[in-house]
Amino acid sequence: MKKSAAFVLTLVAALGLGACGTSNTSSGSSSTPSVIKAAWVYVGPITDHGWTQAHDEGRKYVEQQLGSAVQTTYKENVPEGPQVAQVIEDLIRDGNKIIFGTSFGFQDAFYSEAQKHPDIKFEQATGFKTAANMGEYFGAAEDADYLTGMALGAASKKGKIGFVAPFPIPEVIREINAVTLGAQTTHPGATVQVVWTNTWFDPTKEKQAAQSLLSLGVDAIGQGQDSPATGDAAKAVGVPWSGYDSDQSSYAPDIWLTGTVYHWGPYYAKRVKAALDGSWKMDNYYGSIADGMIGLAPFGKSVPAAIQSQITAKMDAIKGGTFYEFTGPLKDQTGSTHVPAGTKLTLNDLFSMDWFVQGVIGSPKGS
């Protein structure tokens, strides 16, 4: 008797966790009738100090810009799997008319839901599948990565830079290439050594990977990871550090250089407004520094003024279209010319990039 009571208690305790899922709604105002409901589906927590947090700041920007004309909702920590369709169905039932998905792994669920609900607008970040009511969006982070590389190169005395990288996929490979090319402008001959973590977000692994590079004597370190753990490792040995996704300077202000950041807000506001006034059209949008989707985090105090103005000048050149980092001649790791002089890599080249430029130490195929 006692035993079965205990068993029931244990089961109840085990099931209790089901209640801890999170979802939040906040509203500008609900009184006005011409209100659109917009929803975001996130893969991580809104406090990750990286990718998801940047998107959520975009959502808040929409509320700020559209005020009482919009009601926003988000679902965080949604795993890439069968739950995505369920989450979308719930959001539609709640009356959301435009739904944003911010992880590559949501793509298939978004696509099939878009087929089922032609009256709902879908938007999916970092993917490639589109439909009449489903658009894609991403940004040219590589431009800002190049500028970050300039800061890293200038900070490195020996020209030995480390880079903690998530997955060997084109998005990350072009990031590493851009960082390396940027570093070589401020420190000719600089090398960038890569360690793959095979995770977007696992602070312990990221820190271990950073430590492995620091123990080799790299004297500047960058990252393509979503957490600031690399900075934590760099702080212990006083090595300059560049971040990613969001301004992470508060974690280690003394060694912080800069980092690529995303400003999703203006794009989100534009798209929600378009959905509200009926002008929304499917688009495959690739944002840039010029339109403000991509930016550079504020410089840390360890970046000298001369370097800051050099980087800012280059940023203006990128904005103005007079400079593009992936213009030939570009050599690969073996030293042979991969991109002939004058040739500019196309968006297709960037999206299928599987080779490292000269100066990168490590394999573009991963560990």
DSSP assignment of 203-225 equals: HHHHHHHHHHHHTTT-SEEEE-S
Residue selected from 229, 239, 297, 357 as contacting other proteins according to rule CB under 8 A: 229
Say whether residue 5 binds other proteins (CB under 8 A).
Answer: yes
Reply yes or no: is the peptide bond before residue 118 cis, omega within 30 of 0.
no
Say whether residue 306 binds other proteins (CB under 8 A).
Answer: no
Beta carbons within 8 Å of 94's beta carbon, 6+ residues apart = 37, 39, 73
Maximum distance among all alpha carbons in the chain?
83
We find the least distance from the C-beta atom of residue 235 to other proteins, in angstroms, to be 10
Q: Assess contact for 92 and 117: CB atoms under 8 A.
A: yes
Phi, psi of 3 (to 5 degrees): -60, -45
Say whether residue 20 binds other proteins (CB under 8 A).
Answer: yes
Say whether residue 172 binds other proteins (CB under 8 A).
Answer: no
Nearer to other proteins, 208 or 310 (CB): 208
Closest C-alpha among 112, 182, 100 to residue 141: 182
How many whole angstroms separate alpha carbon 349 and alpha carbon 343?
Answer: 11
Say whether residue 247 binds other proteins (CB under 8 A).
Answer: no
Residue selected from 102, 103, 211, 260 as contacting other proteins according to rule CB under 8 A: 211
Scanning 20-28, 90-98, 131-139, 254-262 for contacts with other proteins by CB under 8 A, the matching segment is: 20-28
Say whether residue 227 binds other proteins (CB under 8 A).
Answer: yes
Say whether residue 343 binds other proteins (CB under 8 A).
Answer: no
Say whether residue 213 binds other proteins (CB under 8 A).
Answer: yes
Residue selected from 45, 105, 170, 266 as contacting other proteins according to rule CB under 8 A: 45
We find the least distance from the C-beta atom of residue 180 to other proteins, in angstroms, to be 17
Nearer to other proteins, 110 or 251 (CB): 251
Say whether residue 202 binds other proteins (CB under 8 A).
Answer: yes
Question: Virtual CA dihedral for 62, 64, 69, 75, nearest 10 degrees?
Answer: 50
Residue selected from 2, 279, 335, 336 as contacting other proteins according to rule CB under 8 A: 2
We find the least distance from the C-beta atom of residue 108 to other proteins, in angstroms, to be 23
Say whether residue 82 binds other proteins (CB under 8 A).
Answer: no
Scanning 82-90, 166-174, 184-192, 193-201 for contacts with other proteins by CB under 8 A, the matching segment is: 193-201
How many whole angstroms separate alpha carbon 126 and alpha carbon 160?
Answer: 31
List, in sequence order, every residue forming a beta bridge with 40; answer none if it has no partner.
74, 100
Residues in the chain: 367
Residue corresponding to tokens 């029931």: 8
- List the x/- string, 85-124, binding to other proteins by CB under 8 A: ----------------------------------------
How many whole angstroms separate alpha carbon 305 and alpha carbon 162?
Answer: 24
Query: What sign does the dihedral 125-127-128-133 (CA atoms) show?
Result: negative
Nearer to other proteins, 234 or 339 (CB): 234
Q: Assess contact for 257 and 241: CB atoms under 8 A.
A: yes
Closest C-alpha among 310, 58, 45 to residue 200: 45
Q: Assess contact for 327 and 343: CB atoms under 8 A.
A: yes
Say whether residue 11 binds other proteins (CB under 8 A).
Answer: yes
**Which residue ranges make up the site for other proteins (CB under 8 A)?**
2-3, 5-7, 9-11, 13-14, 16-17, 20-22, 45-49, 53, 77, 162, 193, 195-198, 202-205, 207-209, 211-213, 215-217, 227-229, 232, 236, 250-251, 361, 363, 367
